[in-house]
A and B are shown apart, each in its own frame.
Chain A
Amino acid sequence: MFNNKKVNIFLIIVGIIIFIFLPRFVSGYWVRVITTIFMYAVISQGINLMSGYMGYLPFGNAMFFGVGAYITAIGMGKGLSFLAVLPLAALTAILVSILFGLPVLRLRGHYFAIATIGMSGALLSVVQNATEITGGAMGTTLPIIDKSPEVTYNYFYLAMLALMVITTLTIYLIIKSKFGFGIRSIKANEEAANSMGINTTYHKVIAWAISALFTSIAGALYAYWMSFIGPEEVFDVMIAVNTIVIMLIGGAGSILGPIIGAFVISLLSEVVWSTFLEYHLAVLGITIIIIVFFVPKGITGAIADFVKKRELRLRKKVSV
């Protein structure tokens, strides 16, 4: 069932249609929760490209979320429309990723992860102190959409859903391309990739730029949606940490992993939060440890293993 391409495409289209019409059947609260899930899936997908496929864990990826959010806030504060400001936000994030990426992507493993946290922190400080432009630590407001809250929330729900679908599709196509082959070779063995004549610097910088692009659009949508943002909130390292956990639970290096992970973690924390109000973080943490312990390859990895085992069993039966 999971190996048949046509069945998979059919299932995915049905899933998308269900999500398009879902807001008609659930409360406004759940619409907002699911919008957040879509947003986390997008950010996690950006981390998946960098870490799951390329082997570089970008712990500071929240900085692109923050850049996207703040460029949107500043641009709209100057009277630009959201659609005019969106390309600007994305472009700025891409520029930041290339500027930071060229030196920092020479580092490997933990050193790269730590360096990106440092950069994220540096950008946070800049935003906090450039009070005249960004509003400083107090945060800044964006124009509110002149429609009923329900319509507004549905609008952001659909926008975030579209972003998630586009992000996932783009990353899927990249991974299936020759460029993606190069990216996977970097994870497998960067030294060998180099000696095969693969321009690893180019691959790494472009991959991070793509990661920055989608993360910044998520940030832009978030800022417009919330209509108020603070620097501590959008440059929060925990955004990256949460999405890394989401990727690991869902399945790193699998295209649907971040989406499945986002739903599982967010719904899990909803349930845990509403039943164990006082200890919900502890319960959630223990649950995550248990999942990682028993399903180390993530949910998609466990499904793939299960399918493979079943096929082997079927083949054995046939041969006997």
Chain B
Amino acid sequence: MKDNLLLKVSNLDAGYGAIQVLWDISLEVKQKEVVCIIGANGAGKSTLLKSIVGMIPSSKGEIFYSGNNITKMASPERIKMGLGFAPEGRHLFFGLTVEDNLLMGAFQRKYNKSVKEDLDFVYALFKPLKGYSRKLAGNLSGGEQQMCAIGRALMSRPTLLIIDELSLGLAPVVVDDLIDIIAKLRKERGISILLVEQDVKVALDIADRGYVLEAGAVSIHDKADRLAKNEHIKAAYLGVA
């Protein structure tokens, strides 16, 4: 049980300056597991992801990654350890080409044959990107941008892929594609995935387990199928009374 634990967050407090957003958060991601974080706007979902990646310092608590304490590490070191991050709003390098964007994801690696292989892997995974490899990322559609952002995160060969707002602003067809790709990544590459998702139905559909954030604290965590049956969640997030 302990052996296949990939990410462990224990009693984490974090926030922006004097404003504390996260209160005593504990969370686990096991190997090859897909975990989702759901919650209303302003519940602290993105803040939690940012503090896991190291873009926000934590004031209390600890974060472990495959057995190592990463609480005090800067984000470049955490990325090196195997965290891959696709930030909210996608945050692409709009002025650079799609291929440069993807290469940017592999910045900490030496640009050699293995990076080329990963580039081919990403193009095979996200077929529309291949045709646009020389185009500026700013000219892509929303769905393509999300593909580019996830592809870029994959270029660092992460063991845990963290995605903030997978389906935000995307057409349902595109969301379905992305869900398939996430299932494929887990199955073929053995990557664990931690994602924040506004669409609770989608989230509980792809995830094994889910955490519900309310006002910066974990209120419920359970298996995804059981969360989907939970009366409180049905009423609050799924619109079923």
Contacts and interface: CB of A to CB of B under 8 A. Distances in A.
A188 B92 CA distance: 8
Contacts of B156: 196-197
A31 B79 CA distance: 54
Contacts of B85: 195-196
Contacts of A192: 87, 91-93, 104
A178 B112 CA distance: 13
Interface string A170-185: 0000000010011011
Given A182-B107, A197-B156, A188 B95 contact: yes
A196 B105 CA distance: 6
Contacts of B8: none
Nearest to B80: A197
Nearest to A200: B76
Nearest to A201: B74
A129 interface: no
B87 A195 contact: yes
A197 B108 contact: yes
B179 interface: no
Contacts of B53: 195
Interface string B73-101: 01110111000010100011111100010
Given A181-B104, A181-B107, A182-B107, A197 B93 contact: no
Interface of B: 53, 55, 74-76, 78-80, 85, 87, 91-96, 100, 103-105, 107-108, 111, 152, 156
Interface of A: 178, 181-182, 184-185, 187-189, 191-199
16 contacts: A181-B100, A181-B104, A184-B95, A185-B104, A185-B107, A188-B93, A188-B95, A189-B92, A189-B93, A193-B93, A194-B75, A195-B55, A195-B87, A195-B91, A198-B76, A198-B104
